[in-house]
Amino acid sequence: MKLVRYEGNPILKPRGDHWEAVATFNCAAIYRDGNIHVLYRATGDYVRYVSRLGHAIFDEELRLVERLEEPCFGPDLKLWEMSIEDPRLTELEGAVYLTYVVTPTPSPPGAVRRRLGIPKPMQAAPRTALARVKDFESFERLGIITPYAADERDVVLFPEKIQGRYAALHRPSNWVGPGYPVERPSIWFAFLDGLPGRMYDHKVIMEPEQPWEGKKIGAGPPPIRTGAGWLLIYHGVDENSVYRAGAALLDLEEPWRVIARTPQPILEPEEEYEREGDVPNVVFPEGAVVVGDELIVFYGAADKVCCVASVRLDKLIDYLLEEGGTT
């Protein structure tokens, strides 16, 4: 089973000569009052590679309603945020929350550095922070939520409490090898002691299994409640650094139990806009909304543009239950 691409892809491309001039990718999405709000990562130059978030609004047919001229959320240098990357949006208890990557040492991806002859810089481990979204124009910063010294990019909040507690999935890239239960970057479950809060009670829930996800895996959009379990779209990276997307179902009460997982990717780089860009061969989902029967997935392609692909939600669930096996 594969997601079907929207014929109007890419839905967002770089524009202008300022903050979003060179790349607009990796998009979060949330469905509100008949519109889909998209927050996307944007950068305006290849040397500093500072990212900010842009805001665009689409209707249910994916027609662009509005794209704001200015970034809606940018780094606060007083907090050592030099770059804001990879947003995810979750609606929880009537509020909208944003998880986002912060780093004091942004740098262009390897493919761009090699093209421009920029040496590999010193890099601090990225961390993930939380904000409450007031109206997509103002954001209340709630602080870092990932563990001290963990290298964390793919953090998503559950849209409901689990067993009465806030919960998240995360991917500590450096929690591998001796002293850890995994050899490669994996998806972990954790509770949060509040919002804002800290993670605790970490459990590995998914490790790389198939060759297409053999190097590392990470959560995509926040999990979506379905009758059959929490639907998780995630990305997997192979040994050649090709990024693909898969899906899994997690138990509703105990989401650290995986009910099913797609053996094959449901989306992989095929189109030119996915194969060629700033980082070739990347599809990177970060947003998903359910409109009627359809699951609409928003993803970054080749670290350059934003795209959409969809599937009937019940068909994907049936496929997962039939082909996804149990672990």
| Closest separation in Å from C-beta 283 to ligand BMA | 9
Which residue stretch of 114-122, 196-204, 219-227, 279-287 sits at the interface with ligand BMA (rule: CB under 6 A)? 279-287
| Closest separation in Å from C-beta 154 to ligand BMA | 8
| Closest separation in Å from C-beta 118 to ligand BMA | 16
H/E element holding 303? none
Identity of the residue, 73 or 191, whose beta carbon is nearer to ligand BMA in the bound complex: 73
| Closest separation in Å from C-beta 210 to ligand BMA | 19
Identity of the residue, 127 or 313, whose beta carbon is nearer to ligand BMA in the bound complex: 127
Identity of the residue, 27 or 249, whose beta carbon is nearer to ligand BMA in the bound complex: 27
- CB-nearest residue to ligand BMA: 279
| Closest separation in Å from C-beta 85 to ligand BMA | 6
Q: Which x/- pattern over 211-250 shows residues binding ligand BMA (rule: CB under 6 A)? A: --------------------------------x-------
Cβ 59 vs Cβ 36: under 8 Å: yes
DSSP secondary structure letters along 46-113: TTT--EEEEEEEEETT--EEEE-SS-SB---GGGT--EEEEEEEEEETTEEEEEEEEESS----HHHH
Tell which one of 96, 157, 282, 297 touches ligand BMA (CB under 6 A). 282
**Separation between Cα atoms, residue 322 and residue 293, nearest integer Å:** 19
Show the DSSP H helices in 96-212 as ranges: 110-116
Identity of the residue, 197 or 280, whose beta carbon is nearer to ligand BMA in the bound complex: 280
| Closest separation in Å from C-beta 161 to ligand BMA | 29
Residues 6 or more apart whose Cβ sits within 8 Å of residue 69: none
Which residue stretch of 32-40, 61-69, 277-285, 289-297 sits at the interface with ligand BMA (rule: CB under 6 A)? 277-285
Tell which one of 190, 259, 279, 301 touches ligand BMA (CB under 6 A). 279
The two three-digit tokens of residue 203, written as one number: 């459990």
Q: Does 109 bind ligand BMA (CB under 6 A)?
A: yes
Identity of the residue, 279 or 313, whose beta carbon is nearer to ligand BMA in the bound complex: 279
Place of tokens 């047919």: 61
DSSP 316: H
Number of residues that bind ligand BMA (CB under 6 A): 11
Query: CA distances (Å), 18 to each of 43, 136, 233, in order?
Result: 8, 21, 32
**Separation between Cα atoms, residue 161 and residue 190, nearest integer Å:** 12
What part of residues 24-83 is at the interface with ligand BMA (CB under 6 A)? Answer: 26
Give the three-state DSSP class for 218: strand
Cβ 99 vs Cβ 159: under 8 Å: no
Identity of the residue, 85 or 238, whose beta carbon is nearer to ligand BMA in the bound complex: 85
Tell which one of 5, 153, 261, 304 touches ligand BMA (CB under 6 A). 153
Going by C-alpha positions, the residue among 313, 278, 281, 273 that lies closest to residue 297 is 313
Going by C-alpha positions, the residue among 320, 321, 327 that lies closest to residue 1 is 320
Residues 6 or more apart whose Cβ sits within 8 Å of residue 310: 3, 4, 6, 294, 295, 296, 297
Identity of the residue, 106 or 229, whose beta carbon is nearer to ligand BMA in the bound complex: 106
What part of residues 285-324 is at the interface with ligand BMA (CB under 6 A)? Answer: 300, 303
Tell which one of 20, 81, 86, 238 touches ligand BMA (CB under 6 A). 86
How many CB atoms are closer than 10 A to CB 247?
Answer: 27
Footprint of ligand BMA on this chain (CB under 6 A)? 26, 85-86, 109, 153, 243, 279, 282, 284, 300, 303
